[in-house]
A and B are shown apart, each in its own frame.
Chain A
Amino acid sequence: MDIKLLHINKQFDNKPVLKDLSITFPQGRISCLMGPSGIGKTTLINLIMGLEKADSGTITGLEDKIISPVFQEDRLIEHWDAINNIKLVCSKDVTNKIIEDELNKVGLYEDRYKPVLTLSGGMRRRVALLRALLHDGNLLILDEPFKGLDKELKNRVIEYVKEKAKGKTVILVTHDLKDAELLEAIQIRMLE
């Protein structure tokens, strides 16, 4: 089922952030949400995740969805290692062996037992991304998931996301048009 947002309005402290916004995110496709900073991209995905409530308007198509998010901040359990951070949200079917294999694919195998607080920004981002990708969700909401990754690593991770997200509905927030192109995503631009 497509996710449809109809005539959404949202304001903070009497300052409108989203004004009569209507967007459709097609089922099973990657949609890239783009636009300048402060336009309300994060507010929009917070509405979909149920972390904010719209002042008016309707959101449909979430009834059958289990959300796997990557937040703007990593939101990891700082003293825990990558494996435990990922296991925390996954079903029992996701074993240590599976997680280790996946960590290897994004270049984190050697650091799998280190507390995430000791990892670099790019490494932490990959842990957060892997946590979402291995979670048993069918709607991936990724807020700038490639932040802090160098070009080569970013391309590798984008390929990995493309592979892992097959068949899932993906809403990805990015500033980089190239990300959208590499992901062969539907581009949705939010304008002022």
Chain B
Amino acid sequence: MKLSKESGLIKKYGVRFLVLFFWLLLWELLYRVINNEVFLTSPMSVLQTLGELLIQFDFWKTIGFSFTRIVTGFIIAILLGTILGVLAYNFWVIEELISPFFIVMKAVPVASFVILSLLWISTKNLSILISFLMVVPIIYTNLLQGLRNTDKKLLEMAKVFRMGTMGKIKAIYIPSVLPYFMSAIKVGLGFCWKAGIAAEVIGIPNGSIGERLYESKLYLMTDELFAWTVVIVIISMIFEKTVILLIDSIHGIYNGRIKGSGDTY
């Protein structure tokens, strides 16, 4: 049984490696066919550029600049989206009041937001605002949906037993909302990175990943453009995996704590 599980894993990762090899090979072939460094660079050049970037202090400073801003926007969006979702669930007037804002946000293209934002704030903090604006409707909508799908029968039970607010939150609302919240976080993570970097490319704040991407395009440094794109994808993946791991463990601790200790209340 153990053997078959191990061989299954080897097969799974073996296939993944072959898939990766296939696409890299295709990329290399296309590069050779096109034979134009500006139009398409080779995977080896990208890897070499990446290696050169990794040892530069500025590279890490640039990543730090963009990362902190995009993550700040993301965290503010989680906090405000949660607060607004809870308020909208409890007071219909608040939902009516803020729903036009979210309808507009869903309809307006990211580029329009970026340009408008440039009129209001400095380019330095642009990615905070854009990351926030992209994530907040997702958190708000999912949270509200989770709250609305809370088991009505359990809420009735809580009402008859005259349960306190904290008890209701821990026992009824959190388990109901958590799957919606987690899915919102997963979707939001991807959005905030894409939108945040796009905003930086348009706004070109000094010392940002967006600025480096823009410069690479401007000076036709295709290998650097590709290298930075790879960096963005890797950071986005690491960030996403870390956050999901964190939420999953919170979820696990929450359920585990309730399941067996008998000491929760």
Among B55-63, B68-76, B156-164, the stretch that binds chain A is: B156-164
State the CA gap A81–B175 with chains docked (Å). Answer: 14
Let me know if B167 is at the binding interface, CB within 8 A: yes
Let me know if A68 is at the binding interface, CB within 8 A: yes
Q: Which of B171, B262, B263 contacts A77 (CB 8 A)?
A: B171
What's the minimum C-beta distance from A166 to chain B, rounded to whole angstroms? 21
Let me know if B90 is at the binding interface, CB within 8 A: no
**B160 adjacent to A67 (CB under 8 Å):** yes
Between A and B, how many residue pairs show CB distances below 8 Å? 61
**A84 adjacent to B265 (CB under 8 Å):** yes
Given contact pairs A73-B153, A75-B154, A80 touches B258 in the complex (Cβ within 8 A): yes
**A81 adjacent to B258 (CB under 8 Å):** yes
**B161 adjacent to A69 (CB under 8 Å):** yes
Query: Which residues on B sit within 8 Å (CB–CB) of A73?
Result: 153
Query: Which residues on B sit within 8 Å (CB–CB) of A112?
Result: 262
Binary contact track B143-157/A, C-beta < 8 Å → 1, others 0: 000000000011011
State the CA gap A96–B172 with chains docked (Å). Answer: 21
Query: Which residues on B sit within 8 Å (CB–CB) of A50?
Result: 159-160
- For chain A, which range describes its interface: under 10, 10 to 19, 20 to 34, or 35 or more residues? 20 to 34
Chain B residue, CB-CB nearest to A137: B161
Given contact pairs A67-B160, A73-B153, A96 touches B262 in the complex (Cβ within 8 A): yes
What's the minimum C-beta distance from B167 to chain A, rounded to whole angstroms? 6
Given contact pairs A80-B171, A80-B258, A84-B258, A96 touches B160 in the complex (Cβ within 8 A): no
State the CA gap A50–B156 with chains docked (Å). Answer: 9
Let me know if A71 is at the binding interface, CB within 8 A: yes
Query: Which residues on B sit within 8 Å (CB–CB) of A75?
Result: 153-154, 156-157
Given contact pairs A69-B160, A71-B157, A73-B153, A81 touches B172 in the complex (Cβ within 8 A): no
What's the minimum C-beta distance from A85 to chain B, rounded to whole angstroms? 8
A51-B156, A84-B264, A89-B163 known, 10 other contacts, Cβ within 8 Å:
A50-B159, A50-B160, A73-B153, A75-B157, A80-B171, A81-B258, A87-B265, A88-B265, A89-B161, A96-B262
A-B contact pairs, 18 of them (CB 8 A): A50-B160, A51-B159, A67-B160, A69-B157, A73-B153, A75-B153, A75-B156, A77-B171, A77-B172, A77-B175, A77-B258, A80-B171, A80-B258, A80-B264, A81-B262, A83-B262, A84-B258, A96-B262
